[in-house]
Structure formats: structure tokens, C-alpha cells
Chain A
């Protein structure tokens, strides 16, 4: 790999193909419905990138959760978000909302208020592609976060260090890039925030306005000033860059990539959108090493499978599938979020993945879409059609042989279609995005 990792990728003839387009849609969103993929292939990379960054979620869909919030049911919120992921017109925005939900992991198990979780989710949606500085400061005063990390009990003289510690360790700098004293001083700076009803408010009488020394700087820092100091640290930009690289490129990215993207982020004055525009158009992003380099998480796996075959599934059901696979939206297991990677495919989760995908393919309501998706009524053509549409990068001969056997042994074309698609979706090859 040369130094110009983030130089734009200029595909030669034939390089902007189904595999490249699918790679972009799976990483930058949640896969493409058949018509979207065809449009992308006809329009080319640049026009497709413009579409990826466009914000097209119907306001009505965004607002559809409002009548349900008073019921206080988390399942409504989970289903609503899946509806936005599956049908909303802003896949990249929803992808970033999911990234920030994992990064600033907050669980309703402790927050216990669906409206607060909704408000936080909206915060990620509104600021997710914007300025990371603004996002971080909004999160620091978000009522759900205050409750989750006990920020609402952080008082002068009785500091609660939870939020300060996780902010430095997980949200901004990473372990080894600050000291224990920094945690204590940051906690003092973050003190004085409380929750009234569902609104956060600053209580000056509870704020420690004394002099603090944080990250080598001394002053009477409040919350925002402390966060500005954190953001000034070079490691902060690299930390956030690593988050983006792991979300969009591959786990454990090389340090050179982290540094380069961190520089882009700083030069863009923390604009996530500008950083992503550079990343998603880059040679790095489209490099062979980046293709199929991530194990799909449950939410993205379900969403990509549903959207790719063009199925229509009740959002609540898809949310249940993702939960069974180990990713219950709004309920990350800890402040570190979901471990991801190989942790998604332990034995129990693998069985849940298999069952959910088979259920998707076997559902009566999916059969018409499957028939349209594979576009072939001859069973001997089904394996090639399925591979071409679902695994355009190709698959090994043993796998192809297995698909052909499955097609041959099925009772009829409809059963053959189900068998072939189920085999592909449940394959490790498909679940590497």
C-alpha cells in the first residue's frame, strides 16, 4: 500500500462492478435493494457516492415513533430504528447512528426510559455526520448518558468519575494516553449536571468551579472547556479515526492509516462527513484487503440480507432476529459496546444467525421477492444467479458444487430457490462484509 491511502479510487473500465458497488453499499449503509444496485452500476461511482451521502429519510417515517413513545416499550423503539435502517432513505446516516450507539454505548437496562433513549438516538442521527466536537459535547449533557454513567450524581466535593473515565478511555483518547489525575480532574470539570424530568440542566451550586490541571493545562475548566482540551490531543483524532476505520474498513487497522485519517479529521475541523467522504472514495476503502474484511454484526447482517434480496419483513421481527443473534438495539452489554468481530460468531450466535436467515428465506411472504431476485425459473441456473447477486466476488468450487446439489435435490423450483439462497446467506462468505 502506498502512502496515498486516502487518494480517491479511480476505477478503470470494469472495476466499478457489482462487487465494488455491493462493497460500498454494505459498508456505507445496509446493502442495496436490487433496483438501487442496478442504478449504482449504471450511474457510476461518483454519482453513487453522492447518493450515499444524501439524506432522504421521509419525515413521516422519522416521526412515526412519536405515538408509541408514551407506551414506554423498548421493542417499539427497536422496531422503529430497524424500519429506518431497512426503509429509510439515509443509509449512511443510520450506519453512523449505529456506530455512535456502539461507541457511546448506553443501555436502557439502566437508563430505564424509552424517551431518553430515543432522544439520544436522535442526537446521534442529527450530529452523527456532523462535527465530532459538537457531538461529544452534546453527549456529555445527554440525559440518557448522564443517567447511564452517573453524571447526574457527580457533585462538587463528591465527584463521580464514571463519565470522566469512560470519556477519556473509550470515547476520546484511549488507554495509556492520560493519567489517573486527568480522570479525577475531568470528573471535577464535568460536575454539576443533573436531570429534571427528561431534561438535563446545569446546577452551578453543584459544580466544582475550582482550579484543575487536566492534560497538562491548568484552569477553572467546565465541561466544554475540558472537552476542548481533550479534543486538542493528537491521540483524540487518531482514536476517532480508528473508530471510523474499524467501522468502515477492517478491524485492527494499520497505524499508518489511523494517523492519516486522524490528520484528515483534524484538517476537516472534526467533520465526520468530510472524513468519510475521503475514506469512502479512497483506494484504501476499495482495496482488495478491505473487501470482506469484517464479520457482519447482527443488525447489519439482517438488514443487508433483507434489503439485498428485496424482501419486506416486519421491522419488529428483524429487531428480534438481531437480538437473538446478540445485538439488541438500545441494550449494549456494557459501556464498551459490543465486542464485535469474532465475538459475533460464537456457537450460540452462529446458530441464531442460521435460524434467522433460514426463517427469512422460508417465509411465505418472501417467496415472490425471491423469485424476482433470482430471476430464473430453471433450477440449474439458480446457483449461478444466487452467487452473482449475493457473492459477486465469487466463491470456491466446493461451495458452488454444494449449491448445485441443493438445487438438484429440491422438490421443485421454489424449494430449490429457497435452498440455494439459504445456503448462500448462511455461508461464512456472505457474512463477511
Chain B
């Protein structure tokens, strides 16, 4: 009819009528342009290629098929549901998981999980644009027919449940070889071939369909670093996330921006370690989550992270303290080159912070007999530090009413004689602290020497309280320092230092051999600490959160059960590339039973 509108109109009415009729006949018989039959989407095409680059956050279910197929029998799901926490939560839920699934099945008219498994067999991904706050989900099924069938079932269920018979029998429109359904202004659903696209913005859905229409489109694969990180994703991951932090930052709140800015600073990287410190300041971050029957693993990997060269893994030197063999509540191996911090402070820190370093040097000289902290003391100390936390054995009458695990740090001196300077510094520190406490009317610590075999231990302790006076929190502190060979041991309690002295008796420091920074936590110890101190935690919650006692007790019990459900955790930090640090966190479930 547009064609007709452009032709000259004959003058005679009869002729006009005949002309119009001819045009109408012509338009009717002219073969309509039939859409080219759309080429089926390649099942091997990367799911991320369907997502436009404006999706700065991308989440993909890389292993969710097994999760949907196995449902409650999935090893991780089963382990979680049978854990102490899972059992407790389920006991309070209005329905069991089986019952909840049955309700969903009845709603749909067929089993839900197999339908979802089929709809996502080729992958499921979610993209979020922080600028427009829009989201799109893309699911790829095993075939166009199966997706069409599953979609029909789902839409039929919607019609039944909401009393909209026939509302979704036919798509509202067709576009870019896809069928589209609208759900008011809230969502758009599109199906093309084996692809389902659901989004809350028409333009975003259209972008996905445009990429789907181009066989060679790369979508997110063209984001710097994306393809490389994706290729490096663990093969057993269940979920994988990509966060384009640099692009998210302008749309995030002030707190996020400050966090990223802070993580670029040498001070933060010096305290947290360069990998963890630089992680959130990276240009982008990927994370993978793997679910196993024994627990879960979370891996984080940064792209283009601003790690300080001076603190980077390849610049690491020094010796590693020997491993110790006790039952640790927690242990860690960290690398902190504070000597380099001091000597290179002008390079790494802002000028206004330098007086602080000067003050530290001056104060350090007070403790180390006039020696310069940065030039004469710290360089003799290896940057590798082993931290150990253990339950303490308290002397009679000195067990605190709020007992906490002890903590000790093990470091390596390049010369055994340096140990004497450290012992003297420790004793000076205690003496000065006592003067300060005396001036404020506080309790002083008694400084004395103890022995463990041939090793002399400097130790400070508060006077034993009289019966009935109560043993305050501060009795978790009985600082002690010992030097075992070239190992320097500084602990919060004499009994812990004694144990470590015994364990280090025949041990030697070693050269680093690809060591990574690690942290291991025994959840059982944390659980025991929470259980021991539950009265304190409950009372604190009542006063801080205004909870009634039963509610406070429920919260602390929930925390206890959560800890009881895990055996432990291990955090490992590393990475082969300074600009691509990696962090791996493993959480191990406790008392795992096999699935039925």
C-alpha cells in the first residue's frame, strides 16, 4: 500500500477505481517477502557471545545442568540439607524440599526440575547493565523443539494459574526471527530456536537477539580479559561470574568507589597482602563457584590488577618458617615485606605519610637500642610469617571468663644473635606499657623469664586475681617471646609459645618453593569458641540489637549450627601473573553422608 501511495492518481473516477483495484490485486498476489528461514543457532556457540558488552556483570550457570537434573540428590545439595544447619532450618520450614518441589510440579503440571534442566542444557546466563539497571537472562536448551515444548508448558501453566486462558497461545509479535511475549511493562520473553531470552528492558532483549542473529558475533567475548578468564575457568565450576569493575564503578555508590581507591594504596596492599589488596581494584574480576559433596570452592581471579611491583609474588625472597605440628584452630602463612616498605617509603607512599614513618623509626629506636627500624632491624627478619592459633591451657585461677584461642607468630631471623635484640625490645615494650598503665591506674604486667628446655622465654602476665574477683578478658593475654635457633616466636600466651618451642626444637627454616599465602581455619574450633562463649554473645546481642533473649539465643544458635555444619576452610592466594592475582577459598562441609 505504500507503493500505491507514491503513484500518480488518474483523473477519471472509473479509471481511478480500476487502478486501485488492480493495485490491490497486485499487492495481494505479489509474493510476500518470506523471512529467510533462520539458521539454527550453533550449539557450540559460547553463551557469552549472546550478551552485549554493556552487561558489565555476567553470571553463568556453567554446571547447573547436573544441579537441575539431580535436584535434591545433587551431592552438595544433599550434604547441605543433611548438615546440622540444614536440618535445623528444614525443621522450621513450612514444607520439606520434596513437598516444595511437589507444589511446583503441580503448579507447572509436570516435573519442574527436568523442564528447567532441559531449558538450560546448553547453558544459562544472566547479564546486568549497571547504568540502566536492566537485566537479561538467556537460556539455551537442547533443541528448538524441546525448548518450544517446555516454553509452551510453562506458559500454559501461567495461563491456568492466573486465569488468563489463551493469553500466551501466540506470541505478541515476531522480530529478528524470534517470538516475543510481553508481561506488561515488567518483562519481555523471546524465543529463537533453542534460545530463551527474558529481560526487563526491550532494548536489552533486542540486543541479545541481534547478537543471536549474527553467527560470528562475540558479544562479551570481546571485553578485555573476558575470553582469557573464561578459558581459565575450572572445569568443574557450577557458576561463573565476570564483573567489569572499572565499568561498574561510575554507577556504584561512594562506598564501592572508596573501596577500590583504597585497595590501590600501598598501605592497604601492605596490610592485606598485595593480591588481596589489589583484587577489588582490578579492572575486572571473575569468580567461579564449584559445588561438591564435600563442600564448595570459590575462586577469584583479577584482570589488570594494580599490584605493587615491590610486593608482587615474583619479588619475594626470604625464608619460610618451619611448619609446626600441633592441632591448630587456625593457621596462616603470609608475606609482608615491611623492610622494603620502610626503605622504599618515599616511592610508594604519599608525602604526608612520611612523618609517620619517621616517628615509627624513632619509636623503634627506643625499643631496639637506637637501631634504625627500617635499616638495621627489619632487614634481618624474613618477610614470610607463619601465624598459628590454638586453644589455650590456662593455669588454675587464671582461666578467663571469656576464653579465646591464643595466637602466635613465627618468623625467621637471618642471624640467631638478632634474637637477643628482639627479646630486649619485648621487655622494653612491656616496661613502657606498665608505666603507661600505672599512670592511668591500670593493672601492670609482671615481666619474668621462663624456660622450655634450653630455650629462654620472656613472658609478661597480670597478677592472678583473688578468688571471687572474676578473671577478665585481658587474661587471654600473657605475651611471650622466644628465639629457637633462627625462629622468632611471639605469642599471646606462654603455654602456646612453650608448645611451639617444643615443636621447633629440631626444625629448620626453608627456602620458599612456590609458596603461596594461605589461611586455614578449623570450623570445629570456632564452633567450640562460640559454644563456650554463647552466654556472652547472647547478652551482647540483646543489648546491641535490642532482641529478646529467645530471639538472641536463636541467632547465636544459628551461628553455632552454621559453624558445626562445616569442617573448615582454606584460603589460598597466588597467581602466576602480577596483574592477575588469584584467590581460592575452599569450604569443607562436616560429616558428609552419601546421598540416598
Contacts and interface: CB of A to CB of B under 8 A. Distances in A.
B546 A317 contact: yes
Contacts of B539: 64-68, 76
A372 interface: no
Contacts of A65: 539
B465 to A, nearest CB: 6
Contacts of B441: 110-112, 147
Interface string A210-223: 00000000000000
Interface in B438-493: 440-442, 465-466, 469-474
Given A67-B536, A68-B536, A314-B544, A112 B473 contact: no
A401 to B, nearest CB: 36
B543 A83 contact: yes
Interface string A60-95: 100011111111100010011001000000000000
B545 interface: yes
B470 A70 contact: yes
A298 interface: no
Given A70-B402, A72-B472, A314-B546, 17 more contacts: A64-B539, A64-B543, A69-B470, A70-B536, A71-B402, A72-B473, A76-B543, A110-B441, A115-B470, A147-B441, A197-B465, A197-B469, A312-B546, A313-B546, A314-B545, A316-B544, A316-B546
B572 interface: no
A175 interface: no
B400 interface: yes
Contact of A72 (B440, B474, B535, B549): B474
A71 B473 contact: yes
Contacts, number: 71
Interface in B414-452: 440-442
Q: Which 10 pairs across A and B sit closest by C-beta, in order of nearness?
A: A314-B546, A79-B543, A70-B401, A67-B535, A197-B466, A67-B536, A197-B469, A67-B539, A316-B544, A71-B473
Contacts of A312: 546
A409 interface: no
A196 B543 contact: no
B300 to A, nearest CB: 34
A359 to B, nearest CB: 14
Interface string A104-117: 00000011100100
B533 to A, nearest CB: 8
A375 B465 CA distance: 56
A198 interface: yes
A69 B472 CA distance: 8
A332 interface: no
B551 to A, nearest CB: 11
A312 to B, nearest CB: 6
B269 to A, nearest CB: 32
Nearest to A314: B546
B536 A83 contact: no
A378 to B, nearest CB: 31
Interface string B398-418: 001110000000000000000
Interface string B532-550: 0001101110111110010
Contacts of A196: 466
Interface of A: 60, 64-72, 76, 79-80, 83, 110-112, 115, 147, 196-199, 312-317
Interface of A is mostly: helix
A156 to B, nearest CB: 23
B471 A70 contact: yes
Contact of A76 (B400, B401, B540, B545): B540
A315 B545 CA distance: 8
Interface residues of B, number: 25
Given A112-B440, A196-B466, A68 B545 contact: no
Contacts of A79: 543-544
A71 to B, nearest CB: 5
A366 to B, nearest CB: 11
Nearest to B471: A70
B471 A315 contact: no
21 contacts: A64-B539, A67-B401, A68-B536, A68-B539, A69-B470, A70-B536, A76-B540, A76-B543, A79-B543, A79-B544, A80-B543, A83-B543, A112-B440, A112-B442, A147-B441, A197-B465, A198-B469, A314-B544, A314-B545, A315-B542, A316-B546
A71 B535 CA distance: 12
A194 to B, nearest CB: 14
A70 B472 contact: yes
Nearest to A79: B543
Contacts of B536: 67-68, 70-71
Contacts of A69: 401, 470
Given A72-B473, A115-B470, A196-B466, A64 B442 contact: no
A79 B549 CA distance: 15
Contacts of B540: 68, 76
Interface in B517-568: 535-536, 538-540, 542-546, 549
Nearest to B400: A70
Contact of B473 (A64, A70, A110, A317): A70
A64 B543 CA distance: 9
Nearest to B467: A197
Nearest to A198: B469
B543 A314 contact: yes
Nearest to A86: B546
Contacts of B400: 70
B543 A316 contact: yes
A368 to B, nearest CB: 14
Contacts of B474: 72
B421 to A, nearest CB: 33
A314 B540 CA distance: 11
A115 B472 CA distance: 10
B450 to A, nearest CB: 25
A147 B443 CA distance: 14
A316 B543 CA distance: 6
A61 to B, nearest CB: 9
A71 B538 CA distance: 14
Contact of B543 (A66, A68, A198, A199): A68
With a 10 A CB-CB cut-off, give which of A72, A115, A314 has the most chain B CB atoms.
A314
Contacts of B545: 314
With a 10 A CB-CB cut-off, give which of B440, B471, B473 has the most chain A CB atoms.
B473
B438 to A, nearest CB: 12
A379 B540 CA distance: 40
Contacts of A71: 402, 472-473, 536
